[in-house]
A and B are shown apart, each in its own frame.
Chain A
Amino acid sequence: QKEVEQDPGPLSVPEGAIVSLNCTYSNSAFQYFMWYRQYSRKGPELLMYTYSSGNKEDGRFTAQVDKSSKYISLFIRDSQPSDSATYLCAMSALSVRGSTLGRLYFGRGTQLTVWP
Chain B
Amino acid sequence: DAGITQSPRYKITETGRQVTLMCHQTWSHSYMFWYRQDLGHGLRLIYYSAAADITDKGEVPDGYVVSRSKTENFPLTLESATRSQTSVYFCASSEGPGRSYNEQFFGPGTRLTVL
Chain A interface (Cβ within 8 Å of chain B)? Answer: 6, 32, 34, 41-46, 49, 51, 88, 90, 92, 94, 96, 101-104, 106-109
Residues of the A chain whose Cβ atoms lie less than 8 Å from the Cβ of B41: 108
Does B61 count as interface, using CB distance less than 8 angstroms? Answer: no
Residues of the A chain whose Cβ atoms lie less than 8 Å from the Cβ of B99: 32, 51
- Check if A44 sits within 8 Å of B45, measured CB to CB: no
> What string of 1s and 0s marks CB contacts (under 8 Å) between B24-42 and chain A?
0000000100000000111
Residues of the A chain whose Cβ atoms lie less than 8 Å from the Cβ of B105: 45-46
With both chains docked as a complex, state the minimum distance between the C-beta of A43 and any C-beta of chain B, in angstroms: 3
Instruction: Find residues 65-98 in chain B having any chain A CB closer than 8 Å to their own CB.
Output: 90, 92, 97-98
- Check if B40 sits within 8 Å of A46, measured CB to CB: no
Chain B interface (Cβ within 8 Å of chain A)? Answer: 31, 40-45, 48, 50, 56, 58-59, 90, 92, 97-99, 101-109
Ordered nearest first, which 5 A-B pairs have the shortest CB separation?
Answer: A43-B106, A108-B42, A106-B43, A96-B97, A106-B42
The number of residue pairs between A and B whose CB atoms lie closer than 8 Å in the complex comes to 57
Alpha-carbon separation in the docked complex, A41 to B98 (Å): 30
Residues of the A chain whose Cβ atoms lie less than 8 Å from the Cβ of B106: 43-45
Residues of the B chain whose Cβ atoms lie less than 8 Å from the Cβ of A45: 105-106
The residue that A101 contacts in the complex, of B48, B107, B109, with Cβ under 8 A, is B48
With both chains docked as a complex, state the minimum distance between the C-beta of B97 and any C-beta of chain A, in angstroms: 5
With both chains docked as a complex, state the minimum distance between the C-beta of B88 and any C-beta of chain A, in angstroms: 9
- Check if A43 sits within 8 Å of B90, measured CB to CB: yes
The answer to whether residues A88 and B43 also contact, given A41-B109, A45-B106, A103-B58 and a CB cut-off of 8 A, is yes
Q: Can you spell out 18 A-B residue pairs with CB atoms less than 8 angstroms apart?
A: A32-B99, A41-B109, A42-B109, A44-B90, A44-B106, A45-B106, A49-B102, A88-B42, A92-B101, A92-B102, A94-B97, A96-B98, A101-B31, A101-B97, A101-B101, A104-B45, A104-B104, A109-B42
Q: Which residue in chain A gives the minimum CB-CB distance to B101?
A: A94
Residues of the A chain whose Cβ atoms lie less than 8 Å from the Cβ of B50: 101
The residue that B40 contacts in the complex, of A43, A44, A90, A108, with Cβ under 8 A, is A108
Alpha-carbon separation in the docked complex, A32 to B97 (Å): 13
Q: Which residue in chain A gives the minimum CB-CB distance to B41?
A: A108
- Check if B109 sits within 8 Å of A34, measured CB to CB: no
